[in-house]
């Protein structure tokens, strides 16, 4: 009888130890965190800067908690199939958390299924999955900006500038002739930014006339080509260029430089992002303004989320995070651009 009791006790003790060991790995008693990133296109300037910023933030978080961090970044080169394979490989390689910059926002199901099966949390960033997909599991997150806000701010910047500078209306017809350089069709940041910028300008009493647009997929050299076509078509009628991002605005400016146009026939340009080169262009007055897509804030949010998921016992209950996390944008002109240049470089 006594012996039986003894073995019972030993058995219970071992069971408790095993259970608590399991609980520890599940709640993430991490000494090392391995993060796998897959980008839709690693040549995208904003994405490159965002990922660099994330790496810095994650290392800082790790150093603060004596946790070593490791990051592997893969480039999906614009193929959703390739991205699905990469995600599988990253999971097989032992990643604890995935950061996914979807190629196709509407096609996240295969990635979600894979991750859920292996219980690997996913932080989607910059390219927003549809909400129904995100609701499939409570370890799926999104970090990005609020597209509507960026469009409104671009419209406000343009309206202020036009009101303060009569010569934007070069032909003095009381209307501003404009063109739009558009990002990828289907991207949450393309159509909404254009619509909101134009509506904001109209609501502020500026008379507009749309001449045309060019789709340039966020890309500088594609934008240069589209702009050359638009200039060919509309000659010096173009007074304003609203670009869905900085890199395309810079491509548009390149087109005028290539044609050796004099300053008096170059329209005013507005971008969005505040990339390193975008900020330089604002400082030089080539870009009249841009809207800051807060890559430092987004990177910090993602790095904090990684730490919370891997080290916090009550991850779902951490009130700093919801499944969808939107960071605010900010307006940048020549007056405040220096503040952003220091933010950008100090976090690198």
Task: By CB under 5 A, name the binding residues for Ca ion.
Answer: 169, 171, 173, 175
Which of 30/98 has CB closer to ligand GAL? 98
Stretch that binds ligand GAL, among 30-38, 42-50, 104-112, 161-169 (CB under 6 A): 42-50
Q: Which of Ca ion, ligand GAL, none sits in contact with 188, Cβ below 5 to 8 A by type?
A: none
Smallest gap from residue 44 Cβ to ligand GAL (A) = 5
> What count of Cα atoms within 13 Å lies in the side-chain half-sphere of residue 120?
26
For residues 274-303, which are near ligand GAL according to CB under 6 A?
Answer: 293
Which of 26/131 has CB closer to ligand GAL? 131
Stretch that binds ligand GAL, among 43-51, 67-75, 316-324, 331-339 (CB under 6 A): 43-51
Smallest gap from residue 245 Cβ to ligand GAL (A) = 4
Q: Which of ligand GAL, Ca ion, none sits in contact with 173, Cβ below 5 to 8 A by type?
A: Ca ion
Which of 179/309 has CB closer to Ca ion? 179
Q: Which of Ca ion, ligand GAL, none sits in contact with 46, Cβ below 5 to 8 A by type?
A: ligand GAL
Fill in the DSSP letter of residue 47.
Answer: H
* Cβ proximity of 310 and 96 under 8 Å: yes
- What is the Cα gyration radius of the chain? 25
Stretch that binds ligand GAL, among 8-16, 44-52, 62-70, 312-320 (CB under 6 A): 44-52
Using the rule CB under 6 A, is 38 a contact of ligand GAL? no
Which of 176/306 has CB closer to Ca ion? 176
Write each residue from 161 to 190 as x if it is in contact with ligand GAL (CB under 6 A), else as -, in one continuous string: --------------------------x-x-
Dihedral sign (CA 41, 257, 164, 196): negative
Which of 189/296 has CB closer to ligand GAL? 189
Using the rule CB under 6 A, is 126 a contact of ligand GAL? yes
For residues 233-262, which are near ligand GAL according to CB under 6 A?
Answer: 245, 247
Rounded to whole angstroms, the Cα distance separating 341 from 348 reads 11
Q: Which of 75, 123, 127, 267: binder of ligand GAL (CB under 6 A)?
A: 127
Smallest gap from residue 80 Cβ to ligand GAL (A) = 14
Q: How many residues bind ligand GAL (CB under 6 A)?
A: 13
Q: Which of 33, 47, 179, 299: binder of ligand GAL (CB under 6 A)?
A: 47
Q: Three-state SS across the chain?
A: CHHHHHHHHHHHHHHHHHHHHHHHHHHCCCCEEEEEEEECCCCCHHHHHHHHHHHHHHHHHHHHHCCEEEEEEEECCCCHHHHHHHHHHHHHCCCCEEEECCCCCCCCHHHHHHHHHHCCCEEEECCCCCHHHHCCCCCEEEEEECHHHHHHHHHHHHHHHHHHCHHHCCCCCCCEEEEEEECCCCCCCCHHHHHHHHHHHHHCCCCEEEEEEEECCCCHHHHHHHHHHHHHHHHHHCCEEEECCHHHHHHHHHHHHHCCCCHHHCCEEECCECCHHHHHHHHCCCCCEEEECCHHHHHHHHHHHHHHHHHCCCHHHCCCCCCEEEECCEEECCCCHHHHHHHHHHCC
* Cβ proximity of 266 and 294 under 8 Å: no
Which of 128/239 has CB closer to ligand GAL? 128
Using the rule CB under 6 A, is 329 a contact of ligand GAL? no
Contacts with ligand GAL, residue ranges (CB under 6 A): 44, 46-47, 126-127, 187, 189, 218, 245, 247, 272-273, 293
């Amino acid at each position: 009888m006594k012996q039986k009791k003894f073995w019972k006790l030993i058995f219970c003790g071992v069971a408790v130890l095993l259970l608590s060991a399991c609980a520890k790995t599940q709640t993430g008693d991490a000494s090392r965190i391995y993060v796998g990133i897959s980008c839709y296109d690693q040549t995208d300037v904003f994405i490159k800067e965002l990922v660099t910023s994330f790496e810095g933030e994650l290392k800082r978080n790790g150093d603060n908690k004596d946790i070593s961090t490791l990051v592997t970044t893969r480039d999906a080169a614009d193929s959703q199939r390739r991205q699905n394979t990469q995600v599988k490989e990253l999971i097989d390689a032992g990643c604890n958390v995935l950061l996914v910059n979807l190629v196709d926002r509407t096609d996240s199901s295969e990635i979600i299924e894979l991750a859920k099966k292996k219980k690997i949390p996913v932080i989607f960033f910059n390219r927003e999955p549809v909400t129904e997909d995100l609701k499939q599991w409570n370890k799926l997150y999104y970090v990005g900006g609020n597209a509507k806000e960026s469009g409104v701010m671009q419209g406000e910047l343009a309206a202020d500038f036009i009101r303060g500078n009569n010569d934007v209306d070069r032909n003095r017809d009381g209307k501003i002739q404009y063109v739009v350089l558009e990002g990828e069709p289907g991207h949450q940041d393309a159509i909404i930014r254009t619509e909101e910028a134009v509506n904001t300008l109209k609501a502020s009493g500026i008379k507009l006339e749309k001449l045309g647009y060019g789709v340039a997929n966020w890309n500088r050299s594609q934008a240069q080509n589209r702009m050359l076509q638009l200039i060919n078509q509309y000659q010096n009628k173009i007074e304003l260029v609203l670009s869905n991002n900085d890199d395309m605005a810079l491509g548009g400016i390149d087109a005028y430089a290539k044609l050796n146009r004099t300053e008096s026939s170059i329209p005013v340009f507005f971008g969005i992002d505040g990339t390193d080169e975008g900020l330089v262009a604002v400082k030089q007055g080539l870009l009249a303004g841009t809207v800051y897509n807060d890559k430092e804030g987004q990177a910090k949010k993602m790095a904090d989320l990684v730490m919370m998921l891997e080290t916090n016992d009550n991850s779902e209950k951490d009130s700093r995070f919801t499944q969808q996390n939107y960071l605010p944008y900010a307006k940048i002109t020549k007056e405040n651009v220096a503040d952003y240049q220091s933010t950008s470089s100090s976090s690198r």
